[in-house]
A and B are shown apart, each in its own frame.
Chain A
Amino acid sequence: MALDANASPWSRRDLLRMIGMTAGGSAMYQAMSTLGLAADSPYRGPIDLQGAPPGASVLVLGAGVAGMTAAYELRNAGYRVQVLEYNHRAGGRNWSLRGGDKYTELGGATQECQFDHDLYINPGPWRIPYHHRGILSYAKRLNVPLEAFVQVNYNAYLHNSKAFGGKPRRYREVKADYQGHVAELLAKATRQQALDAAVTKEDQEKLLESLREWGALDKDFTYVASERTSERRGFQKEPGGGLSARPIPSEPIGLKDLLDSTLWRGIPSGDEFDMQTALFQPVGGMGRIGEAFGRELGDLIRYNAKVTDIHQDAHGVTVRYEDLASPGTTLTANADWCLCTIPLSILAQIPMNVDAPMATAIASVPYASAIKVGLQFKRRFWEEDDHIYGGITYTDLPITNIGYPNTGYHSSGKGVLLGAYIWGLNAMEFTSMSPAERVAKAVDYGAQIHPQYREEFENGVAVAWHRSPFTMGCFGIWSEAARAAHYDNLCKIDGRIALAGEHASFIGGWQEGGVTSALDAVGRLHARAVAAGAKA
């Protein structure tokens, strides 16, 4: 796609929006790549930190993915490392809630997760794209086994409560029918010479053949009920064996109904670079990575440590913190250098003597609102009744998603669904509710898609990220303007202090942003420490 953003009177955002509206996701992605916006992970293998000055020390603030990546590498390089962590556990947003776990949110509501043994929900990240090589590399080095995360399941649903009488449609039906209708229209236009100016005669033959293939069209280039189209969208009666075996093709959804339903919006959910197969999840929950990091670092991490002040001078960095195990007790930690991964939502409130541009940057990033609800059911009815094994149903209801477990397939007994994954205004509204109300709402909405909810629901947990005491929000939202004005100031080293975390990355909201920002910052801190030498 030829695009010259500079020559356009439009903003880059307008351009992308328009391309997306007219040409679909792959064109959007192509355009983004052209404009340098959709970037591959910069991870290029283990970092090499040689020549650490003897005795040099680094204080790492935060035992999330970024902080522990930094601590792990700095320790291995020979630095004396201490990590301060607010929570009583390692991982930060890398976290799984399992049966028996307790979680107290801001405002004081405590939930005790009632899930059965081995069942869990990931309140934070839940999938790792294959190209997030940094976080994948640490999973490997920490011996955390992975399994496949299913993004697109052709038998999961697309649901619009205002279309088809509120009845969900299977992803395969929507995709096959949309593709078929579009292919038929384009074939018709081609054969009526409407594309003569754009496509040579020779290429038109190829185009027609490709449309027949892509859209499952018949010999006349039409998309009709047939065995051929049913092999894409599913049969009314599936083929089998014996006398009762004869298949009955299914009837495609008409073009007008399909367009009106807006379900086509859900088709590209697996086409975005970050959502393309293969994706992974740690066996046993995303939190396994944070737990493994925590075990690896052991005593280097001090838990229940609430940072209250960060001060640097010519000789080093002093951090004051409250020991939450003995409230009111202020302790101090010292080091030559400080790598701070505290979310900006919190760091903006902590006194820290960095220069004005960095302080302004820290205070310039709003945090996204998000909710996840996990629901336990007496049986895996989505598999047993609806034949949905993993993947995601998308809906216009406030719950937005139903995520089916990508593990334990076909097992009898209980199961846990991701019953809601909500952003924006709906997330703010859900945040305002008590945890029990959030769970009840998620069950109510979900029952519109899976009526079995009513009978089979047992218990649930709900995490509202703005009520999370350790992040006060889900992740940093960088506007283009804020990025241009503040990003470099945020990421530079100020004296003896460097920042890292998803907020200091172009992969916001992903663990890969935490890993790659940590490695970048650690590399630069190390260079500075080496230059300062033993006198540091």
Chain B
Amino acid sequence: MSARLKIVAALTLMAAVSLPTVPGAARADDSAAVTTSTSDLATTSGAEIYAHICRGCHMPGGTGAVGAGYYPKLAGDPKLVSWEFAAVTVLHGRRAMPAFGLSNDLAGPMREVHLSDEQVAAVVNFIRTNFGNHWKNTVTAADVAKLPHPTE
């Protein structure tokens, strides 16, 4: 099965403009009032997934950042001893970090980035073996599939 990063926002203009995942909240953006905005990032490279999705906050080199709050540093993070911890974080998000494990029908205009189990495994393996991290036990899509996935 080919792993694809799917953007579900392109269902229809209406579905997108009409904030189905943000009930009652008017959307200040009208990014969906466009033509088709389908984006597919069809990569199973952990490095590429990190560069496209994670690096914006966790920074090049996994250094994290500090402002009024902070983005956790991934370089040398002892919590990464647990691949399950890393995978569950990617799947469900943590605090203000969005969930990336929503199924396509749950992912909506504002929660649109969906990673397959294969992609989650790839990016978890990348993070745990880069930035000075050397955790040898790599994981597979099948391992990730056994973890709880977000259902809402």
Contacts and interface: CB of A to CB of B under 8 A. Distances in A.
A426 B39 contact: yes
A346 B56 CA distance: 17
Contacts of A396: 34-37
A25 B5 CA distance: 28
Nearest to A479: B21
Interface residues of B, number: 58
B37 A472 contact: no
Contacts of A274: 26-28
Contacts of A261: 35
Contacts, number: 235
Contact of B96 (A106, A344, A394, A423): A344
Contacts of A469: 67-68
12 contacts: A37-B24, A160-B36, A265-B34, A268-B14, A367-B96, A401-B31, A425-B5, A426-B39, A429-B56, A478-B22, A478-B23, A508-B25
A506 B27 CA distance: 10
Contacts of A370: 29
Which of A24, A370, A508: most chain B CB closer than 10 A?
Answer: A508
Main secondary structure of the interface of A (DSSP, over half): mixed
A432 B28 contact: no
A316 interface: no
Given A428-B113, A475-B28, A477-B110, A17 B34 contact: no
A31 to B, nearest CB: 9
A290 interface: no
Interface of B: 5, 7, 9, 11-15, 17-18, 20-37, 39, 41, 51-53, 55-57, 59-60, 65-71, 93, 95-99, 108-113, 152
Interface string A485-499: 000000000000000
Interface string A350-383: 1000000000000101111110000000000000
A425 B39 contact: yes
Nearest to A506: B24
Given A107-B59, A425-B39, A432-B56, A349 B70 contact: yes
B95 A349 contact: yes
B70 to A, nearest CB: 6
Contacts of B15: 16-17, 20-21
Contacts of A367: 96, 98
